[in-house]
Amino acid sequence: MTPPTSARTGIWLIGARGSVATTVVAGCAAVANGLRPPVGMVTLTPPFQDCGLPPLGALVFGGHDVVSCPLPKRAEQLAAQGVLPYDVLAAVQEELAAAEAAIRPGGAVAGDLRDGHELVSRFAEDIVAFQTDNRLARCVVVNVASTEPAPRADDTGMPASSLYAAAALWAGAAYVNFTPSTGLHHPALSGAYKVPVAGRDGKTGQTLLRSVLGPMFAQRALAVRSWSGTNLLGGGDGAALADPAAAAAKNAGKERVLADTLGTAPEGQVHIDDVPSMGEWKTAWDHIAFEGFLGARMVLQTTWQGCDSALAAPLVLDLARLLARAHEIGITGPVPELGFFFKDPDPGAYASLAEQHLALLGLAGRLREGDA
């Protein structure tokens, strides 16, 4: 059996000054230092013990962003909104400052004349320098940048998310796409990867619920007639998703889980409304009309009220730890067993949460045995 690694592992966050990234850095320090229990972290539950995952205290953070607001300032804003407790904010200043020092300018910003190749080289050099400077055993790049508009058929060139994904591959880093943006799904990036990769779009709220309820209706032979959903959210994510093209990228994943679990896409749509005053909080309603025995008509309605970054950050840490270990033992390419974490999982992943969880436990066994 391979002994657990204690080597320092890099987490390179694309969108390093965003809400999710800031909560990842602050939350990791808070849990590693024993300030808070690891609520919401799947990889700190018993089935993942002895799997050789890097401990939280061995994670080193850096990343790219296109805004300049320093991470400690960003964390203050999240504390003012109630996402980060003030005692945690005070206790993790050193870790926030260390991550801030490792953030490099992202792209492309307005007026940037560099072409795609130049940007990929720059990003990859930044990731390699981060690994070298911090004497890291390996690095996992995680995309938590603003959602991009869904690609159009006439798009030429690569979106930023794909440039970053290419840079991760070039730098030999494992890669996670926590957003619905294109990332590795660009045709120019298809092929055999030498590192483990996983995506896309973290499953933290409405879709998490759908991946449980969809299989329930199918297994009880109840006929779903329609499934409609509405989301109200604020924060940077709410602002980005106010763009209908970006919302389309997000909603595709939310609707796909229904088609995959019910066998056919039901009537109904998902809407996302930007409500800036809600800040980091999100409300998601689902209205499910279904038919029972002898055509009896019934309805299930659900309300999910969540703090987006608090839901997402532990999953980012889970994914980074799992992929770091997968990288260490030589797993390459998409890891469908990580479908548990995503709205739009890699081919080969199950659609229902229960089956996804069993697959994840199977992966834990492989990681424990060092079986690539």
Ligand X SMILES: NC(=O)c1ccc[n+]([C@@H]2O[C@H](COP(=O)([O-])OP(=O)(O)OC[C@H]3O[C@@H](n4cnc5c(N)ncnc54)[C@H](O)[C@@H]3O)[C@@H](O)[C@H]2O)c1
For ligand X, the binding residues (CB under 6 A) are: 14-15, 17-20, 64-67, 106, 144-147, 160, 178-179, 201-202, 204, 235-237, 240, 308-309, 311-312
75 vs 331, which CB is nearer to ligand X? Answer: 75
From the CB of 313, what's the least distance to ligand X, in Å? 8
From the CB of 284, what's the least distance to ligand X, in Å? 11
140 vs 311, which CB is nearer to ligand X? Answer: 311
29 vs 247, which CB is nearer to ligand X? Answer: 247
From the CB of 243, what's the least distance to ligand X, in Å? 12
Q: Strand pairing partners for 63?
A: 13, 103
160 vs 213, which CB is nearer to ligand X? Answer: 160
What are the Cα distances from residue 147, in Å, to 182, 183, 220, 342? 9, 11, 36, 15
Cβ-Cβ contacts under 8 Å for 75 (sequence gap 6 or more): 22, 25, 26, 84, 89, 92, 96
144 vs 289, which CB is nearer to ligand X? Answer: 144
From the CB of 264, what's the least distance to ligand X, in Å? 25
Structure tokens at 319: 């994914």
Separation CA 316–CA 15 (nearest Å): 13
Separation CA 302–CA 276 (nearest Å): 23
From the CB of 268, what's the least distance to ligand X, in Å? 21
284 vs 289, which CB is nearer to ligand X? Answer: 284
Q: What is the DSSP letter of 359?
A: H
Q: What is the DSSP letter of 53?
A: P
From the CB of 134, what's the least distance to ligand X, in Å? 20
Separation CA 364–CA 361 (nearest Å): 5
Structure tokens at 158: 């690569």
